[in-house]
Each structure stands twice: as structure tokens, then as C-alpha cells.
A = this chain, B = another copy of it.
């Protein structure tokens, strides 16, 4: 348990929460991306699009951008890449012809069905290094900071 005393002179980066949080996020991200990168050839934006589209019947790029908090150009490119690989398909919406309804193809659904359990298992495995108590505290902490920063869903 090493939190700096609040106003120690001469900041030590290794005890600085924002820095550690960043390092941790990168570490966790790499730990996970082994699965979707090496095994399925997806990068992070693509993986997020797959995850978002797969848990719905179809949605717009706009929705994906809001829900993943990715920039719309990043979404646009990820979607284009996935369409290229025929994992998703797009159909112009009849109601609003600016929109394009995004959904998984059969191959996309197959990949999704294979991918998601593996990723969830990795998450479970990762979090299993925390006690129940620690996990609750950790998530509660994340939530409080999310709220403070206005990041809630």
C-alpha cells in the first residue's frame, strides 16, 4: 500500500496516481490485445466496433462513436476496415439517408461468438488477482472518479 503523502516535495512519478493509471491501462490493454490482435487480426478500434455492434442488432457509426468515446473518424476507418474484411456490412437507412445502418455479417457473428468469451475470460482471469473486497473497492473508486470527471455512460 503505497500512496504518497499528499504534499511530498519532489514528486515521484512512480507513486503518482494519474501516471500509474495510465501505465496500468496500457498494460491491461496489451494483455488483452494479444487475443484480438494476434488471434483475430483486429486492432483496438476494430475490436471496439465489433463489441459494440455485436451486442446490438445494428446501429449507426454515430452511436458507436458516442458509446465507445472514440473520435468519429477513428470509427469511420475501423468500420471501413471491417467492411473490407466482410465482417460487417452497411445499409443506408431508409428513415434518414445520411445514416448507414451497421451490422455484423454471418462471418462477423461467428467471430464475435468466438471472440467475446475469450475476452471475458481474460478479464475474469485478470480480475481474479484481486480479492472480492479489493475488486469492490477498485470498481467503486473507478466509478467515483468517472463521475467526478463526467465520464459516466
Interface residues of A (CB under 8 A from B): 1-3, 6-14, 16-29, 31-32, 48, 51-52, 54-55, 67-69, 116-117, 119-120, 123-124, 126-127, 129-130, 133-149, 151, 153
Can you list 24 pairs linking A and B with CB atoms under 8 Å apart?
A1-B140, A3-B139, A6-B120, A6-B124, A8-B120, A9-B116, A10-B54, A10-B55, A11-B119, A12-B55, A16-B51, A16-B123, A18-B29, A18-B32, A19-B48, A19-B68, A22-B25, A22-B28, A27-B146, A130-B141, A130-B144, A130-B145, A134-B137, A141-B141
A11-B119, A13-B48, A48-B19 known; A28 vs B138 contact (CB < 8 Å): no
Copy tally for this chain in the complex stands at 2
Known A1-B143, A16-B51, A130-B145; further 11 A-B contacts with Cβ < 8 A: A3-B135, A10-B55, A12-B55, A13-B51, A19-B68, A21-B21, A24-B25, A126-B149, A129-B145, A129-B148, A138-B138
CB of A135 within 8 A of CB of B141, answer yes
Q: Is A148's CB under 8 angstroms from B126's CB? A: yes
- Contact between B11 and A120 (Cβ–Cβ < 8 Å)? yes
Instruction: Report the bound CA distance from A8 to B52 in whole Å.
Output: 15
Q: Which residues of B contact A124 (CB under 8 A)?
A: 6-7
